[in-house]
Amino acid sequence: MIKKVIKIKNVDDKNLILDDLKYWLSRSSKERIDAVEYLRRQYHGGTERLQRVDRVIQRT
């Protein structure tokens, strides 16, 4: 039987922030990029890439 486990934590807790930082620093760059890509797809949908925005500034 699987039991649900719920942990309530304060988001502002400095130890949690440091734990998260240590976790992500211990992951490879490929794993971090994959995680960001996963979150991006959840937020923006299944589009392949983000739009590129270019701006040309002419100096006089």
Instruction: Write down how long the chain is.
Output: 60
Residue 13 above 90 pLDDT? no
Tokens of 54: 């270019």
Res. 14: pLDDT tops 90 = no
Are the C-beta atoms of residues 24 and 32 closer than 8 Å to each other? Answer: yes
Ordered by start, the domain boundaries in the chain are 14-43
Which range scores top for mean pLDDT: 2-6, 11-15, 30-34, 43-47? 30-34
26-50 per-position pLDDT tens digit: 999 999 999 998 988 888 777 666 6
